[in-house]
Structure 1
Amino acid sequence: MQKGRLEAFSDGVLAIVITIMVLEIKVPHGDELSDLKPIIPVFLSYILSFIYLGIYWNNHHHLMHTVKEVSGGILWANLHLLFWLSLVPFVTGWMGENNFAPMTLALYGCILLLAAIAYFILQNRIIHVHGKDSLLAKAIGTDLKGYLSPVFYILGIISSFFIPWLAGAFYILVAFMWLIPDKRIERILREVEKKED
């Protein structure tokens, strides 16, 4: 199977997820700026989740540039990732509607953690199909960010019950770590193009 269909499906799902998420922001009754105050937590949670979905979309795009063939395992691993990402609107809305209450922060962190694990599984399936010397295997290397992210998510989940603002700080920290597109894959692809020229 060619990767184009997998990419198109993934892009479509992420576009729908973002659309659903923005529809969760209810328009306030009233025409004053002060009427927007009650939806500030919902809007802040939307911003964070939009950034996360953008990060996944961007990194998934880079990931797919290393794929030559798609196996059944890669398809299922990709669906697994999309499953967890499709739950982001629910946890985003719940967290925003309840002013970042501890349980909502914890569940938000759990979904982020499970999405990160699913992304790791997808990477490993691609490497399994393409080999230890594949472009992706070379690009990932030690993957420090990939190993640190779950640790910060777990710390965020735990701290959400004791120091809620710290949980938010951990989630924002991980987003900042990944905000810049993964240059490792771009660098490897450029090196391959230079060798081919």
Structure 2
Amino acid sequence: METNRFETFFDAIIAIIITILVLKLPQPASPTLEGFLELNTIYIAYIITFLILYNIWYSNHNLFQLVENIDNTTVWIYGAMIFVISLLPYFTIWLAKNIYSVPAETMFGVLFILTHILYTLATHAIYRSNPYNEQLQLTDFDSRINHAPGVIIIIGFILTYTVYIPGIYICCLISIIMWIFIERILRRGDDGN
């Protein structure tokens, strides 16, 4: 499949998911700063989910600039990832309204981990299906630093199940910020800057 067609399809899905996510944000109970600040956990959860979706979109955009075609394995992995990220608006709002709920924390963390795993698998599939693409092979996707966000999420699970219930929520925020910076650092190294 041509990456241009798939990228357009994937971009549209990301845009729809972000739109659904923002439409689920409640309005403050009162038109004051206090009313706005009462919803801080909802806004932070929104920011985490938005950054996850944005980073996936940005990473895919950069990756698809290096390849012209993807194979069926990649399409199926992306299909699974689309399913997982389509659940993000529902579980983001559930978590935001129940920040001290272990099941809400767990589901949000599971979705985050599944998204990270599926993105990693899709990227590996793209690399495998393009072994002669010199530009692609020069990128450092297999860097061990790429696993750091997953480790942070595991720490979040440990915190949630032992001493601090919002541990996954906080670690997801740290993890996505780390994921964004790792992506930029690796990209900068690939560009030779």
Do Structure 1 and Structure 2 share a fold, with TM-score over 0.5? yes
Q: CA deviation at 1:50?
A: 1.1
Name the TM-score, length of structure 1 as normaliser. 0.84
| Equivalent residue number for residue 108 of structure 2 | 108
Matches within 5 A, 1:82-121: 82-121=82-121
Counterpart-to-counterpart distance in 2, 1:69 and 1:22: 33
Change (3 A) 1:141 1:125: closer
- What letter corresponds to residue 31 of structure 1 in structure 2? P
Q: CA deviation at 1:127?
A: 1.3
5+ residue gaps, structure 1: 192-197
Deviations 1:4-27 (A, max 9, x none): 110001111111111111111112
| Equivalent residue number for residue 129 of structure 1 | 129
Deviations 1:147-190 (A, max 9, x none): 222222222123222223443332222112122344545654x5
Counterpart-to-counterpart distance in 2, 1:35 and 1:141: 44
| Equivalent residue number for residue 139 of structure 1 | 139
Change (3 A) 1:142 1:124: closer
Counterpart-to-counterpart distance in 2, 1:71 and 1:135: 18
| Equivalent residue number for residue 172 of structure 1 | 173
Counterpart-to-counterpart distance in 1, 2:27 and 2:92: 17
Counterpart-to-counterpart distance in 1, 2:189 and 2:65: 12
Q: Which moved more, 1:145-154 or 1:2-11?
A: 145-154
How many pairs does the alignment contain?
Answer: 190
Q: CA deviation at 1:94?
A: 0.5
Could you tell me the percent identity over the aligned residues?
22
Q: CA deviation at 1:105?
A: 1.5
Matches within 5 A, 1:181-196: 181-185=183-187, 188=190, 190=191
| Equivalent residue number for residue 161 of structure 1 | 161
Counterpart-to-counterpart distance in 2, 1:136 and 1:57: 18
- What letter corresponds to residue 72 of structure 2 in structure 1? G
